[in-house]
Amino acid sequence: MPTATLRQVESLQPSQPSQDGDGVKIKRIHDFGGGLDPFLMLDELGSDRPDDYIGGFPSHPHRGIQTLTYVIHGGLTHEDHLNHSSTINAGDAQWMHTGRGIIHSEMPLTDNQGLHAFQLWLNLAASEKMSPAEYRDVRGSEMPRLAGGGAELIALGGRWTRDDGETVQGPLDALAGQGGVAHVTLAATGELILRSDAPTLLVYVFQGELAVGDALVPAGHLARVTAGDHLALSSTSGGQALLLAGTPHSEPVAHYGPFVMNSHAELEQALQEYRNGTFPG
């Protein structure tokens, strides 16, 4: 039997306070230089003060990416120019393949714990950037779970395998870059060991503190881990994290606002189309 190679923290990136849309306060991690490839950005929306988020995200365009929105508390209502209209609540997710273009809005809802949600941007490969737009909702009841050892993993997308061989496959099966996304909760003294040799593997801790391999990662930090085939997560006092796995595109990235393409000329084309009313083409 080959020896397992445990993946360790290679780098830590703290989230930064920011705002987007109509003054929505967020914590943001981004890297449009390829450091998180195929991922581009992760926003955490979290507040029990409606003034921090109630303005939402009025109508705006996108091209060249996928977005994945996941709700912990509260909810979001989506509408777009393709006549998709739906609301996701706690435990639900929505996936948007913007392709050559989509114009949409996202308006927040609240529950007795306020709003807590995430939006992840995934980069599309050059061959997919001008493909038709798609949209899909996934309910929490559709997401399979791995549970045991004081740990629970909820699979939104991708294939996740525990060290004992038990495997779940998330319902979002078309994430860019062969992407996988999971929500992990560890109780006090909980532990979870996963088999994963994904070239890009990221852990964003958003509650408590987790040990990722031999390193402690506090809330609000994204850990990129080294190459290997196993990921060990544990916590002395409990915590929660998002796991992101994928395969880099290793292509040039040109970014301006809601558009992510491969060249500045392609960005200029998207901006011109939006200005003259022909977007998304």
Predicted confidence (pLDDT) per residue in 171-185, tens digit:
999 999 999 999 999
Pairing of strands 65-73, 115-123: antiparallel
- Per-residue pLDDT band at 49 (split at 50, 70, 90): low
- Is there a contact between 113 and 73 (Cβ–Cβ < 8 Å)? yes
Does any domain span residue 4?
A: no
pLDDT at 1: 40
pLDDT at 267: 97
Question: 122: alpha, beta or left, given left = phi > 0 and alpha = psi -120 to 50?
Answer: beta
Mean pLDDT value of segment 107-118? 85
pLDDT at 23: 62
Same domain, 155 and 88: no
Does any domain span residue 272?
A: no
User: Measuring CA to CA, how many Å separate 237 from each of 1, 150, 210?
Assistant: 34, 11, 9
Q: What is the pTM of this model?
A: 0.95
pLDDT at 14: 98
Q: Does the pLDDT of residue 55 top 90, yes or no?
A: no
Does any domain span residue 5?
A: no
Same domain, 30 and 72: yes
Domain that holds residue 211: 144-250
Q: Dihedral of the CA atoms 26, 252, 279, 21 (nearest 10)?
A: 10
pLDDT at 223: 98
Question: Could you give the number of structural domains in the chain?
Answer: 2
Does any domain span residue 173?
A: yes
Quick: pLDDT tens for 188-225.
Answer: 999 999 999 999 999 999 999 999 999 999 999 999 99
Does any domain span residue 164?
A: yes
Least confident of 6-15, 103-112, 121-130, 156-165: 103-112
Same domain, 114 and 180: no
| pLDDT more than 70, % of the chain | 95
